[in-house]
Amino acid sequence: MNTDQNNETRQRQAEAATPILDDTAGANEDISAAYDKQIYTSNAFPFTSPGHLRAAAHLYGLNSVPLAQARVLELGCAGGGNLLPFALAYPQAQVLGVDLSAVQVAQGQQVIDALGVKNLRLQAMSLTDITPDFGQFDYIIAHGVFSWVPPEVREAMMRIVRDNLSPLGLGYISYNTYPGWKAGDIVRDAMLLHSHSAQTDEDKLASAKAMLRLLSGGIAQTNPLAPSLRAAVAQLEKHSDYYIAHEYLELFNNPCYLLEFASMAEQHDLVHVGDSEPNIELSVTYGQNVQLNHSLVALGQPRVLRQQYLDFAVGRNFRKSLLVRGDRTEQILIGPDLERLADLRWAAYFIEAPLDEATSEGMTVFRNHQNKLLYTRDTLVIQVVKALSSAWPVSLNFDTLLTARTNATI
Ligand SMILES: C[S@@+](CC[C@H](N)C(=O)[O-])C[C@H]1O[C@@H](n2cnc3c(N)ncnc32)[C@H](O)[C@@H]1O
């Protein structure tokens, strides 16, 4: 090919790329306008915090960077609420959040300044503008973003984890997954259909919610999907209007299978490690039948395929994936190693709850900070819970916990 032909080819390629870039820019504008208008409550999610990711990675056999001076980047950080507890706990760490919505970033930065937090900064920008020279980070976190952005932004997220992660760094991306979201897709399609001509956000939400009535009370007995749809609607009805608007009525909501996510990671020279809550990857968590059948069908299969099978058994609709650089593949264990729990520090706070009618003889009930109940008649569990609760908020190492639990009174 001569130079002219080369130039022509390049020009054609550039022209072909332009509409995609325009689309992304347009989509980014729509997304930032939506979040500027309807501000996202910027919460902290403990399972995304660097300390939690480091502990989870340890169970999967991976070393990571100590927290005290870690460099942390959050993509789509909204008002920085997820970064604030970490930045306060580790004043020598360097923490940066980026988000498209200038309004959310400004609000978050105001809170940070008012608290006098010096090691946390928020930046209003599109993550697609992040390049390798933006810096290296030991933890890159993106919670609740991947499924809600156009494909080019998803690509950019993978690229950033590849290019901006330090050698021992941990990436975290959460996303909606199939098969659990199949029913959710139908509910979302129906809600979008009924609300498509609404002129205001309020009307859109009202129309969308009207559709929920058809899919619950109005669903035909003969509809083969009725149980799944009813369950999806019942789940949705527990949430606020604000959640419904963001989770179901956003411009983009693209769930994917774990296998698709892992393969996209691989294309970016990253490797999928496992969920940031490793207990969800253990088939025993879902009972003996699941454990037995899963072990039969998954026998000898690669790690990620075993997990995809488990997602089918469980009907998983959300994943919180840890990613590392591709050159660490050999270091990852086939599954979380529970022996390694003994290397971690332990902290928990429970109060003993009054016995209810459902409680059988000899059972003790504890309630945690999320109002979740723990029923047990196992003396060892009771001792551990009591030892941890009386030490709270101090954490204990495994040996101290073993000693403390023998002193705990039952
Ligand atoms: C569903 S919210 C999640 C916010 C927060 N991570 C959480 O879980 O609470 C998605 C966030 O991603 C941001 N976002 C979407 N596209 C983005 C982009 N291209 N660059 C940076 N942030 C983006 C939105 O502005 C919004 O704050």
Class of domain 46-178+255-337: alpha beta
Tokens of 121: 């900064």
Q: State the distance from the centre of ligand 1 to the C-alpha of 214, rounded, in angstroms.
A: 31
Q: Quote the pLDDT of residue 29.
A: 79
Q: State the distance from the centre of ligand 1 to the C-alpha of 164, rounded, in angstroms.
A: 19
DSSP 338: G
Mutate to test the pocket of ligand 1, among 101, 104, 145 (most ligand atoms within 8 A of CB): 145
The model's pTM is: 0.88
- Identify the residue whose tokens are 């026998």: 299
Q: Quote the pLDDT of residue 325.
A: 98
**Residue range 7-62, pLDDT digits in tens:** 444 444 333 333 444 577 777 777 777 777 766 788 999 999 999 999 999 999 99
**Residue range 226-256, pLDDT digits in tens:** 999 998 899 888 888 888 887 788 878 899 9
Pocket (CB within 6 angstroms of ligand 1): 28, 31-32, 35, 40, 42-43, 76-78, 98-101, 104, 126-128, 143-145, 148-149, 153, 246
Q: Quote the pLDDT of residue 391.
A: 94
DSSP 145: -
Q: Quote the pLDDT of residue 17.
A: 36
What residue ranges do the domains of the chain occupy? Answer: 46-178+255-337, 181-248, 344-407
- Identify the residue whose tokens are 């599954």: 335
330-363 CB burial, b ≥16 within 10 A, e <16:
eebeebbeeeeeeeeebebebeebeeeeeeeeee
Mutate to test the pocket of ligand 1, among 31, 75, 239, 248 (most ligand atoms within 8 A of CB): 31
Report the C-alpha gap between 363 and 356 in whole angstroms.
Answer: 10
Q: Whose CA is nearest to atom 10 of ligand 1?
A: 145
Report the C-alpha gap between 279 and 362 in whole angstroms.
Answer: 27
Q: Quote the pLDDT of residue 355.
A: 76
Residues of the chain with pLDDT under 70: 1-22, 38-39, 357-359, 408-410
